[in-house]
A and B are shown apart, each in its own frame.
Chain A
């Protein structure tokens, strides 16, 4: 798991929601319906993806769609922001772009 095996996010409330199963870098993980992809991943992992400019990993920064720190990749299709995308049953997510997928335009 990227950045170590322990999660970063701690649940404080709203625990009575339906469970959701998904995969991150091939590993099967659990979250709850209504979690964002960021919450779902960081419950089990320390980060979402490696940085492309330094040694540190990325785990989101603003959670409001402004910083673009929280990109993750589905196994097929373009990257998206983990902080503003809800997790869904069976999602297969990656911390790096899948090899043949072309990079999107930079803003």
Chain B
């Protein structure tokens, strides 16, 4: 390393709960980290802050989590005010090579050298295709929540939320409270499956109880154990959603907006570009980066938050501190004792595993998708294209990718990869794990032409 330990440049990507707590821990040890974040204001997705000039209180925006949101925002604002770190908001890391990050900001690429890399890139909705989901007016659950929190708007007048996971209930509750028109909440997980997750969820009884209470308030809008058939659309968007209830009876609910999401998927593109190894997790039904309990991934790379394991916002704060402590230890600097945080982390993980078990990925529904269903929303690739690609290419995701172009659209497979792997695996009678993982490529975000040309103003 060219720098002394005290002068080590630690690049933190992401300023959500994990990134903010990592930054605080490093600053407290006397380091000056660089924080790159895509948001205009630090906070991440769960504690996303509205633009300046909005007036709703944290209590209105974050409910029972308002105190945590305040503390987190306050902690980061204080670091910025004290000039304790270098902060690049509205900026994306698009590539990593040899200790230099290429950061896209305001249409320009700037080179940011670093000694250690701490990725706190968070998670996004894990989405399964439903026939008709390519229509305008179909969004992720996360999108509907961002619209509500950061803009004070609903994305339609008659909203159906469908999928499974904690966000399904939470968002439904928040939308109703804000006065949005909610037509139905469709959970593909049956009550029996949900009960299987309960023992794990009792690792955090207060959180589990809050979920149950919110669910109860939804009353007859909420349906468990449903199968989603298709979204009926006209030229401008959804008209209705067709589904079967838990007894298999066909139902049709009129709507002008559908929100979809099956819990979360770790955002791992940069971990991939950083060369970190991935393992398939049966529990989370997705590929996750390999790291120790502290978040150490080797060779000066650290991971924290939902981008490593989907432990939620509280778990992300803990993971952020742990990854920073690991980094300090590796630099040979004095570091706080991690044992308390490691115990809390273990409890978060028990709870999160319960959630994953209780609100699973709808593998059977995806495997049964009709041939003409669009799998890749970006480029209109169908289930038939993928199944044909799997016949030609064998059951290996990267070969099918090059044959069928799935995962090569604008979102770079973020929203089709898991469903694509499911279909490829189904064709070969295998598990999605056997289909392999789509490898990420740079840039992690599309880069406008000209962004590389004139860093020096030429």
Q: Which residues of B contact A106 (CB under 8 A)?
A: 410, 446
User: Other CB < 8 Å A-B pairs besides A64-B45, A78-B448, 15 of them?
Assistant: A3-B136, A10-B153, A13-B178, A34-B51, A35-B151, A54-B134, A56-B135, A63-B139, A64-B143, A64-B146, A65-B38, A68-B378, A68-B446, A104-B449, A106-B446
Q: Smallest distance from the beta carbon of A69 to chain B beta carbons, Å? A: 7
Interface residues on B, range: 35 or more
Docked CA distance A65–B410 (Å): 11
Q: Are A33 and B142 in contact (CB under 8 A)?
A: no
Q: Which residues of A contact B60 (CB under 8 A)?
A: 13
Q: Are B414 and A67 in contact (CB under 8 A)?
A: yes
Count of interface residues, chain A, beta-carbon cutoff 8 Å: 49
CB within 8 Å of B: which residues of A?
3-4, 8-18, 33-36, 39, 42-43, 46-47, 51, 53-69, 78-79, 84, 86, 102, 104-107
Docked CA distance A78–B411 (Å): 18
Docked CA distance A30–B271 (Å): 41
Q: Which residues of A contact B157 (CB under 8 A)?
A: 10
Q: Which residues of A contact B415 (CB under 8 A)?
A: 61-62, 66-67
A-B pairs, 7 with minimum CB distance: A14-B152, A68-B410, A59-B136, A13-B152, A53-B380, A63-B143, A107-B446
Please judge, given known A-B contacts A12-B154, A17-B53, whether A62 and B446 are in contact too, CB under 8 Å. no
Q: Are A46 and B124 in contact (CB under 8 A)?
A: no
Complex interface bits, B127-147 against A, C-beta within 8 A gives 1, otherwise 0: 000000011111110110011
Please judge, given known A-B contacts A9-B153, A86-B51, A102-B449, whether A57 and B136 are in contact too, CB under 8 Å. yes
* Interface SS of B by simple majority: loop
- Contact with B233, one of A12, A56, A58 (Cβ below 8 angstroms): A56
Docked CA distance A14–B378 (Å): 33
* Interface SS of A by simple majority: loop
Q: Which residues of B contact A34 (CB under 8 A)?
A: 50-54, 151
Q: Which residue of B lies closest to A67 (CB)?
A: B411
Q: Which residues of A contact B151 (CB under 8 A)?
A: 14, 34-36, 39
Docked CA distance A16–B179 (Å): 17
Most buried by A among B50, B147, B448: B147
Complex interface bits, B432-455 against A, C-beta within 8 A gives 1, otherwise 0: 000000000001011111100000
Find residues 191-247 in chain B having any chain A CB closer than 8 Å to their own CB: 233, 235-237
B4 within 8 A of A: no
Q: Which residues of B contact A65 (CB under 8 A)?
A: 38, 92, 445
- Contact with B180, one of A10, A18, A33, A84 (Cβ below 8 angstroms): A10
Q: Smallest distance from the beta carbon of A51 to chain B beta carbons, Å? A: 7
Q: Which residues of A contact B365 (CB under 8 A)?
A: none
Please judge, given known A-B contacts A14-B55, A34-B50, A61-B377, whether A9 and B450 are in contact too, CB under 8 Å. no
